[in-house]
Amino acid sequence: MHGISATPRSLVVIGRSATLTEGNRRKLAVMQGRHPGLSIITYDELIDRAQANFERHFGPLSLRAENLDIYYYRHDPAATT
C-alpha cells in the first residue's frame, strides 16, 4: 500500500527518570537496539525535549511550579529600551 511503512517508528513514554535503575536502563537500551524504529523515553525526557523544541522557536523558557506559569521571551530588535 502506498504511504504505509513496513517498518513503522514508535514512541513509548514511561515513568520518571529518577525511578529507573541502571538495570532497567540497560534493558531499555537492549530493547531499542533490537527494534530500530522503537524509542523509549521517560516523561522527564519528553518534557525536556518539548522545552528544547519550544525554546528553539521562541527563545528561553521559564517554568515555575504550582499552577505552572509559562513565559517565553522573544527578542524584538525594533523595540526601544
Residue range of the domain that includes 39: 10-72
Asked whether residue 1 is domain-assigned, the answer is no
Question: How many structural domains comprise the chain?
Answer: 1
Whole-model pTM: value is: 0.61
Q: Is residue 27 part of a domain?
A: yes
Tell me the percentage of the chain whose pLDDT exceeds 70. 74
- Whole-number pLDDT of residue 12: 94
**Within a domain: 20:** yes
> What 3 state SS string does 22-71 have?
HHHHHHHHHHHHHCCCEEEEEHHHHHHHHHHHHHHHHCCEEECCCCCCEE
- Decide if pLDDT at 62 tops 90: no
Q: Is residue 25 included in any domain, yes or no? A: yes
Q: For residue 23, is it within any domain?
A: yes
| Residue 49 belongs to a domain | yes
* pLDDT of res. 64: 55
Does residue 44 sit within a domain?
Answer: yes
Which pLDDT score is estimated for 20? 92
**Which among 41, 21, 46 has a CA at the least distance from the CA of 31?**
41
Return the pLDDT at 74: 66
- pLDDT value at residue 73: 64
